Amino acid sequence: MKAFTTLTGVAAPLPLVNIDTDMLIPKQYLKTIKRTGLGKGLFSELRYEQDGTEKPDFILNKPAYRAATILIAGENFGCGSSREHAPWALADFGIRCVIAASFADIFYNNCFENGILPLVLPQADVDRLTTMAENGANATFTIDLEKQTVSGPDGSALGFEIDGYKKWRLLNGLDSIGLTMKKGTSIDAYEAKAGASQPWL
């Protein structure tokens, strides 16, 4: 998993509440278990007409936000089903951080397994950042995970709270598989010992 240390990029404002996982990645995209290629389906019902052409008014279709790496959204982001395809689609599109006043628990935890920072701020601060993000390509933000700050295009900085263990995992690029692999020596030693004492297994 790619480590998250600092991120500087354009933030796309999407101040909708209760954005659920079906809105993030509709069910027809769930046939794959690959983490790549899902970015095209991100917000597909909002991004595309029925004939597949883009809806020009949707935020991620606007030229200033096509390369956005940060999403500023409404409260209860990621509610609905527990599909891990939702953070996969965000990551494949290029979104590394979602800022909202609150997240659905399962989605929140899935983000940490996929190198995405789900950043929780008070609604007043989210509203302020949303207003800044509406400046388009000039809306460049910097998120410093180590310092736990969000710096806006006006030079102001906001602090944020995050669980220390989750922070450590993101800084080191460790998902659950990565954590297991760090114990590889101990696992090998256990298997060798078990194999010697129970050769019939």
As given in the structure block, the two tokens for residue 149 are: 């700050």
Question: Which SS3 state, helix, strand or coil, does residue 95 take?
Answer: coil
Give the side-chain half-sphere CA count within 13 A for 47: 17
**Residue-level pLDDT at 97:** 98
Is residue 12 within 8 Å of 65, Cβ to Cβ? Answer: yes
Q: One digit per residue, pLDDT tens: the chain, 201 residues?
A: 889 999 999 999 999 999 999 999 998 888 777 778 899 999 999 999 999 999 999 999 999 999 999 999 999 999 998 888 999 999 999 999 999 999 999 999 999 999 999 999 999 999 999 999 998 878 899 999 999 999 999 899 999 999 999 999 999 988 766 666 666 676 666 665 666 677 776
Query: Which class is 6-176 in CATH?
Result: alpha beta
